Amino acid sequence: MVTRFGLGLAAIGRPAYINLHRSRDLPGSRSVAAMRTRAHGLLDHAFETGIRYFDAARSYGRAEEFLAGWLDLRGLRGGAVVCGSKWGYTYVGGWRMDALVQEVKDHSLNQLVSQLAESRRLLGDDLRLYQIHSATLESGVLEDRGVLSRLLELSGEGVAIGLSVSGPRQAEVVERAMAVSVDGRNPFTAVQATWNLLQTAAGPALRAAHDRGWAVLVKEGLANGRLVEAGDAAGPLAQAAARHGVAVDALALAAILSQSWCDVVLSGAVTPQQLDSNLEALGVTFDDGELSELTELAEKPTDYWGRRAELPWS
């Protein structure tokens, strides 16, 4: 059982990330202690708002460690919340803002075994969802029998198995994952993908996954902050937000919540104020035709992902 909103820790578990305006929203020190304090404050606030799903990854710096420490501090071990994490990328930023490389990808069985041990050492039985981080067709992970067999075993140990996808071929990867069969079974029961008003291409594949009974989690609902850029106040997004009496971030996230195939929207907020605004999305109901007008903002997948690839780590 999870909540419609989850809190993602990609932006708060390490000093640098690709979201816009981090210097505005994360002023002051980015030391380990400072980010831990921020993360615990945000986790406390999220818990108070009723959020019960928290999304981490091995590559999000110390996100798992911050989450585990918070569970211990608040006495929330043993199922009070659901923690999800991801394997496949290793954090190599060395807690430096200016590291040329922040994360390295490896979807091998050795990587799964070693990262699962690290995630379990920190999150224990509160690790309830384990996802391949940004699975692609090119990485070959969905053809790797060793990995798929270990994931099938893990699904038998009370951990739900998922994958996250990224890039212009998200839909193809989801479809390939749905066709996986190892010993006649498919280990996957959850998918995490990017869908937002600038990038809607994975919609049909996510609907098919949902109809297959998979949990569908949506990430990057604000296009890494691009959707909350001080855009054209006369634009359709700002106009619709004004009509509904909410901020643009809430309107954009409401568009995701209104997709019948969407189970969980991940907030990437880094402050309690941002999170409160994001949660206003729960109160938005779109008029007929309004959503189709808003999804006209969508960019071609190659353009969208090309722009994302240019976002600086800050």
Distance CA 100, CA 88 (A): 19
Least distance (Å) from ligand NAP to the CB of residue 289? Answer: 25
Report whether 18 contacts 223 (CB < 8 A).
Answer: no
Residue 143: DSSP 8-state: G
| Residue type, position 236, single letter | P
Which residue is it, tokens 């800050």?
314
Distance CA 299, CA 290 (A): 18
Binding status of residue 256 toward ligand NAP by CB under 6 A:
no
Nearest alpha carbon to residue 126 among 87, 165, 70: 70
Binding status of residue 277 toward ligand NAP by CB under 6 A:
yes
φ, ψ of residue 307 to 5 degrees: the values are -65, -40
Q: Which of 102, 164, 186, 200 binds ligand NAP (CB under 6 A)?
A: 164
- Strand 89-91 and strand 103-105: the pairing is antiparallel
Binding status of residue 25 toward ligand NAP by CB under 6 A:
yes
Stretch of residues binding ligand NAP (CB under 6 A), selected from 7-15, 32-40, 146-154, 234-242: 7-15
Binding status of residue 11 toward ligand NAP by CB under 6 A:
yes
Least distance (Å) from ligand NAP to the CB of residue 75? Answer: 24
Least distance (Å) from ligand NAP to the CB of residue 162? Answer: 10
Q: Which of 59, 85, 111, 166 binds ligand NAP (CB under 6 A)?
A: 166
Q: Which of 136, 192, 199, 200 binds ligand NAP (CB under 6 A)?
A: 192
Stretch of residues binding ligand NAP (CB under 6 A), selected from 29-37, 39-47, 120-128, 262-270: 262-270
Q: Which residues 198-237 are close enough to bind ligand NAP by CB under 6 A? A: 219-225, 228
Nearest alpha carbon to residue 44 among 275, 224, 266: 275
Report whether 160 contacts 129 (CB < 8 A).
Answer: yes
Residues that bind ligand NAP (CB under 6 A): 8-11, 19-22, 25, 55, 86, 133-134, 164, 166, 192, 219-225, 228, 249, 266, 268-270, 274, 277-278
